[in-house]
Amino acid sequence: MSDLLQVKNLYTSFNTEDGVVPAVNGISFNLKHGESLGIVGESGCGKSVACLSIMRLIGHPGKVEADEIKLDGTELQALSEKKMRSMRGNDMAFIFQEPMTSLNPVYTIGFQLQEAIQLHQGLNKEQSQHKSIEMLEMVGIPRAEKVFSEYPHSLSGGMRQRAMIAMALSCEPKILFADEPTTALDVTIQAQILELMTDLRQRINTSIIFISHDLGVISEMVDRVIVMYCGIIIEDTDVRTLIKNPRHPYTIGLINSKPRIDVELERLEPISGSVPNPLNMPSGCPYHPRCESAMEICREKLPENHEIKDGHRVCCWLFSELGGKIKS
């Protein structure tokens, strides 16, 4: 499989009154055609910002820089705003976390669906209405024709998220960013939406980047996972390896601190401390103040990426010769 999306050294920072907040600090990853990639991390780790940066949806006072952001071979950074707009919602679509606030309250569901369809597919009003209703049916909304002319407030959270999914998929995008699409929903509704997304994935040929803080959701939804911490990628591997054989101390800590519904644990093993203040990042590896295996070098230098196995990258000194030497 060839690469659909290539991101190289992406940096996003926000200029605030209190100083520069580096939200994404030089991440690189690829997404293959038809692949689903998960991005895991705690709040503030930069996972959403990274995706919004790729879509060029970061507004003032954010600043995005990258060596490369290529979609299907096209360098996105070189595109004019106009060209970029024609790709947004068309080649790349986004599903947001909050279904309650992500739809415009003063327009009908149908209007908001048609908008993108008319814009990108050049369909007329009637055709786009037909297509919209078709999309609503596809995402399992009952009485789609009635919902078409309803306003968002009359739908439940789950239904709104379905409508958002319909909107995102209406132009058959090459890549779909799903930013915590089920976090705001109850667990039984989350199950409905996850099943819908799994089902849709089999039916349409779209690559997905699935953002979540929930390793349970991730392990059900994706093929490959990126773990982010403080704006950098600390581990990148397939989902099976990540959960069965995680290598980075943070990933291990994350997995150990989560109780399981299927297994009884005597005691949870939390990661100590908390995420550092983005305005006051620790030197070296951002994880070292919380890391039990931290060494001298971790305090001084940001570790490099180490491919410890085919397709398994870890960003940690424990796996480098240099780090090993200093440890001994």
Give the three-class secondary structure for 270: coil
20 binds other proteins, rule: CB under 8 A: no
Q: What is the spatial distance between Cα 150 and Cα 239, in angstroms, rounded to a whole number?
A: 40
Q: What is the spatial distance between Cα 21 and Cα 103, in angstroms, rounded to a whole number?
A: 29
CB of 262 to other proteins, least distance (A): 6
Q: What is the spatial distance between Cα 49 and Cα 231, in angstroms, rounded to a whole number?
A: 9
Amino acid at 92: M
307 binds other proteins, rule: CB under 8 A: no
Within 89-108, which residues bind other proteins (CB under 8 A)?
Answer: 89-90, 93-94, 96, 98, 101-107
CA gyration radius for the chain? 21
116 binds other proteins, rule: CB under 8 A: yes
Q: What is the spatial distance between Cα 294 and Cα 316, in angstroms, rounded to a whole number?
A: 10
174 binds other proteins, rule: CB under 8 A: no
268 binds other proteins, rule: CB under 8 A: yes
Measured from the Cβ of residue 75, the count of other Cβ atoms closer than 10 Å reads 12
254 binds other proteins, rule: CB under 8 A: yes
CB of 102 to other proteins, least distance (A): 4
Q: What is the spatial distance between Cα 115 and Cα 229, in angstroms, rounded to a whole number?
A: 37
Q: Please choose, out of 5-13, 247-255, 298-306, 314-322, the segment that lies near other proteins by the rule CB under 8 A.
A: 247-255
How many chain residues are in contact with other proteins, going by CB under 8 A?
82
Residue from 269, 296, 300, 307 touching other proteins (CB under 8 A): that is: 269
Residue from 74, 149, 205, 272 touching other proteins (CB under 8 A): that is: 272
Q: What is the spatial distance between Cα 224 and Cα 208, in angstroms, rounded to a whole number?
A: 11
Residue from 37, 49, 159, 178 touching other proteins (CB under 8 A): that is: 159
115 binds other proteins, rule: CB under 8 A: yes
Q: Which is nearer to other proteins, 192 or 305 (CB)?
A: 192
Query: Which of 141-150 are b and which e, b meaning 16 or more Cβ less than 10 Å from the residue's Cβ?
Result: beebeebbee
